[in-house]
Structure formats: C-alpha cells, structure tokens
Amino acid sequence: MAGRTGPGRPRDPDLARQRREAILRQAITHFAREGFPKADMGAIAEAAGCAKGTIYNYFKSKRELFRAAVDYVMLGLLAATHSSSATDPIERFGHAIQSFLAYFDAHPEYIELLIQERAEFKDRETPTYLEYRKTHCEQARIAFRSLIDAGRFREVPLDRTFDILSNLLYGTIFNNYFAGRSTSLEQQAADIKDILLRGLLSPKAAAK
C-alpha cells in the first residue's frame, strides 16, 4: 500500500518531522494548562493524534519532552525576531522588538513554560531562555558594533547593554502576562523603541 512503512524501510523524514512538531505543539498546550508534575503523556498523545508509545520514539521521557517543548518555543522566537527583510539595522532592531512582544502576546502559554522551567528544573544550570539570549546576543553584537562604528550609536558596553535590553523585554512580557497590557502592542513596542533609541533627556540636556 502506498505510504506504508515496513521492516527495513526508512521512515519518511518529512512525516517524522511533522509528527514531532505535532507532539511538541500539543505538549506545550498541555504543560501550560496542567503543569509539568500533572502532565500526562497519554493525554498529549491523544491530542496529537498518535499512540502514547509513539511519543517515546521521539522523546525518552516527559522531562525530555518538556525541555524540547521549551527549545521549540525559543527557536520560534529567534525565527520571529530575525524575520525582517529591512536592510537598515535600526529598522531591523525595531522590528525585532515588536516581533518579540507579539510572539509572546499571541502565545501566552509560551510564557507559562518559561515560568515552569524555572520552578521544575532548578537543576538546569542555565535556563533555556538565557541560553537562547546568549545566542541572540552574539548575532546582535555584530549589528550593534556596526552601528557604533558608523556613528549611529554611541560607544556603549555591549554586554551590559544587552543585559538591560533583555531584562526590559522579558520584564515586559511577564508583566503583560500577569497584569495585562494597558496599551496596544504596537504602541508598547513603539514606546520601548523610543526610550531605547532616544532616551529621556532632551537634546539640550544631553549636550550638557
């Protein structure tokens, strides 16, 4: 029968990738709703349209599935914040800010996973979002350095600058999650960009 796999026949890589992603998407929803301790692999499998045993073909344990789910979230974040086609680095910077906020605004369950990771995986030396922040900073360092060299940004300590920027963005999404947004997402992103790029001081005061 067409499409049927048999002994010795290699697994269709596209089908395997789709199945893995389906499991991860359902796992994210389930973990966010139920919490890691109460999460049930059978329920995740049912939601993903597969047998419970199928999950273990991709993930050895519930713990591994959870970590893969968080990795999936962060890979999606990197893709979203690097999706601009603008050639100007400052335009890409503004796009990344809005994309960051929009990504978590559209998927509040992703924030829940980051919270659970800190609560349930305290043995993990570095949380996933910090690992991915480090990866992102390496890419951003090149862009910031080029803007400094071009005279568009002033000379700033990059590591401290990235720490401040990251704390601001992650603080914003967590505040949005717990307290809700008081303005539109577009306005919130514009305000962050304005403060970051223009500061609070007037040109006259800054000149002093």
- Residue 154 pLDDT > 60, yes or no? yes
d(CA 129, CA 150): 31
3-state secondary structure of 194: helix
Q: Where are the domains of the chain?
A: 62-199
CA separation, residue 146 to residues 37, 90, 139, 142 (Å): 46, 11, 12, 6
DSSP result, 129-192? HHHHHHHHHHHHHHHHHHHHHTTSS----HHHHHHHHHHHHHHHHHHHHHH--SS-HHHHHHHH
Contact call for residues 84 and 92 (beta carbons, < 8 A): yes
Per-residue pLDDT reduced to its tens digit, 72-85: 999 899 899 988 89
Give the pTM: 0.87
Residue 96 host element (H or E): helix 89-106
- Please report the pLDDT score of residue 162 as a whole number: 87
| Residue owning tokens 């980051």 | 114
Closest alpha carbon to 80 in 64, 98, 63, 68: 98
Per-residue pLDDT reduced to its tens digit, 17-59: 999 999 999 999 999 999 999 999 999 999 999 999 999 999 9
- Looking at the domain that runs over 62-199, which CATH code has it been given? 1.10.357.10
Closest alpha carbon to 103 in 84, 123, 79: 79
